[in-house]
Structure 1
Amino acid sequence: MELEAEFTSEPFRGEGEPPAHAVKAREAAELAGLRTEFGPLGTSARGDADAVLGALPAIARAALDSGATRLTLRVQPPGSTATDRQETGSVLDGMVREVEAELGSTLAELDRPGKQRAVRLLEERGAFQLRKSVAAVAELLGVTRFTVYNYLNRG
């Protein structure tokens, strides 16, 4: 059986290079032979269930030893993510349409202050509680995920 572990380390940093704690956690997963998908503050690692479960202590240690103040972890069989993405997509699409209507423009056409406002409005509606929503919103805005996290941290 295969498993997917998704882990996020904090503190978040704005634009630029990812923080050492995120990089070291990913490296620990790769050293354990897991396939990774690296994001600015979240990483997915897949592999055989025993390999994933065996790697979790090393991943946690690497992140915490490298400056993480918090590590959030979710483990599940990878097949369930397709349904998650479909549900996230339709719910997020509705939120984005509402925000675009409120701001009078598509997210991509907004200037920087408009994009910051859009992120705040989406956060108020709970958009960033949805799985993979930061990446989806970043793509719609035409910015990086780091930029979206930066906008979120400015609150």
Structure 2
Amino acid sequence: MTGIGDDPFVTAVKPLVDAMGGEMLPPDEAGPDDVVLSWEGADVVAVRLPQLAESLDHILAAMARERGRPLAELDRKAKQQVVRTLEARGAFSVRHGVETVASALGVSRFTVYNYLNYVNEQRARAREGDERSRQDG
């Protein structure tokens, strides 16, 4: 990351860029798909975002680090929570997302689809409960 220095803005956005799996580079090295961030009227840093598939791998690795062990070692309930979180982040809109998640969790694609169905059933039940509460209230 040459040419950026210790700019306070760069320091402030670095954790976000790292969490997304992005790369920071000088604004004059930005390509057409990079995002140039400006502060107080000046271009400060360019961010090169990863491809969606790379982002999913990055998210899975971060989730494993947060839990302190490989995702495949989690119990069923924890794996369902991982799928719920990934579904909310749009992970399954990525090509081969289900396969990638299944591999990380150490389960079959069929199991991931079952977890997704379970998540959707829970949401539907919660919505029905909210509607009943509004009708009763």
TM-score by length of structure 1 reads 0.41
Larger relative contact order (CA 8 Å, sep ≥ 6): 1
* Structure with the bigger percentage of strand: 1
TM-score by length of structure 2 reads 0.46
